[in-house]
Amino acid sequence: MAALSVDILFDAAVRIQLLERSITVTYADNSIRLKFPTTRRLAEFLNVQHYYVLPYFAMMEQDELVTRAERVGIITTAKGSRKMIGLMKDKYHNECSEILGAAIFEELLKKC
């Protein structure tokens, strides 16, 4: 089993979104929020037991990268959105631009 980290979970979250061809973006309170895959989906994708990812989500909540929203799931905070969009820009620019559309992706990049 590969060691887990917050960075690995963020990267896996983006790769899951690309694989599923679905990136959910919400504008709320003058900030951008991105829907994060469930902890179970991330564990399945990374081929680890579910309970291995839970402490990292606690750390991400403590570091104000994600928050749990009732009936929505896990979403990024403004800080988490900057981290995720930066990763999208640096590693997955073409794929994200294709899914979101170039204009929307460029707007996200400007806002973060």
Q: Is the pLDDT of residue 1 over 60?
A: no
Do the beta carbons of residue 104 and residue 32 sit within 8 Å? no
Q: What is the pLDDT of residues 19-59, one digit of tens each?
A: 999 999 988 778 899 999 999 999 999 999 999 999 999 99
What is the pLDDT, as a whole number, of residue 95? 95
Domains of the chain from N-terminus onward: 6-111 (1.10.10.10)
Give dist(CA 90, CA 42) in Å, integer. 21
Give dist(CA 51, CA 63) in Å, integer. 19
Give me the helices (H) in the chain, please.
6-20, 39-46, 50-62, 78-91, 93-100, 102-111
Q: Is the pLDDT of residue 94 over 70?
A: yes
- Mean predicted lDDT score pLDDT of the chain: 92
SS3 call for 80: helix
What is the pLDDT, as a whole number, of residue 111? 82
Q: Is the pLDDT of residue 9 over 80?
A: yes
